[in-house]
A = this chain, B = another copy of it.
Amino acid sequence: MEDNNKLAGFFKAIAHPTRINIIKTIYEKNICVNDISKELNINQPNTSQHLAILKNHNLLIKTKKGNEACYKIKDEGIIKLIQEAEKLVEKLEK
């Protein structure tokens, strides 16, 4: 039952359209904050904040190159989980 808190925290981390978008966008990439910000058309601080939330839940890995910060998916399991959730949502609608 206490584990439900941890799990709920994980779901909360991905329960945001922008963060789902970030995960999908950086999949198979190692991409820096500025490029994510431009590509998704969200401002820099908000981008950093969402990235921090995902990183804090161990979904992303951060590396630094000079003054740039690059992020990538830690484990592709999150991609699979999102895909399965998408299928389930479709199925549940019927």
Contacts and interface: CB of A to CB of B under 8 A. Distances in A.
Number of this chain's copies in the assembly equals 2
Interface residues of A, number: 39
Interface string A76-87: 011011101111
Contact of A14 (B11, B75, B78): B11
Contacts of A18: 4
Contact of A93 (B24, B58, B78): B58
Name A's interface SS.
helix
4 closest pairs, A vs B, by CB?
Answer: A11-B15, A58-B92, A4-B17, A12-B15
Interface of A: 1, 3-12, 14-21, 24, 57-59, 74-75, 77-78, 80-82, 84-89, 91-93
